[in-house]
């Protein structure tokens, strides 16, 4: 359901963000959101580093549909 909402919002040209506890408590969920094409995620300060690492890893392998190439992350 979440993936479908993100897909439909993208088709409509809307920016998509999520604010809530789930990405903070479950960094894998944050990675899932990136794979779905979300634009922004809000997380709590105590989870920032773990979530940032998951998001960076997900972004490193995500194909940018508009550009037709992979996004590469220069971090660890």
**30 inside domain:** yes
- Decide the pairing of beta strands 63-64 and 69-70: antiparallel
**53 inside domain:** yes
**55 inside domain:** yes
**14 inside domain:** yes
Domain range spanning residue 17?
A: 2-70
Tokens representing residue 63 in the block:
């194909």
CA dist 56 and 2 (Å) reads 20
Give me the mean pLDDT over the 32-46 stretch: 92
pTM of the model: 0.73
Q: Who has greater pLDDT, 18 or 67?
A: 18
Cα 11 vs. chain centroid, distance in angstroms? 17
Give me the residue label for tokens 């972004």. Answer: 59
**31 inside domain:** yes
**75 inside domain:** no
**76 inside domain:** no
Number of domains comprising the chain: 1
CA dist 63 and 32 (Å) reads 14
């Amino acid at each position: 359901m979440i993936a479908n909402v993100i897909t439909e919002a993208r088709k409509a040209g809307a920016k998509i963000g999520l604010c809530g506890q789930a990405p903070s408590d479950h960094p894998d969920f944050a990675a899932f959101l990136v794979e779905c094409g979300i634009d922004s995620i809000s997380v709590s300060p105590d989870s920032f580093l773990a979530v940032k690492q998951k998001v960076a890893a997900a972004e490193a392998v995500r194909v940018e549909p508009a550009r037709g190439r992979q996004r590469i992350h220069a971090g660890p």
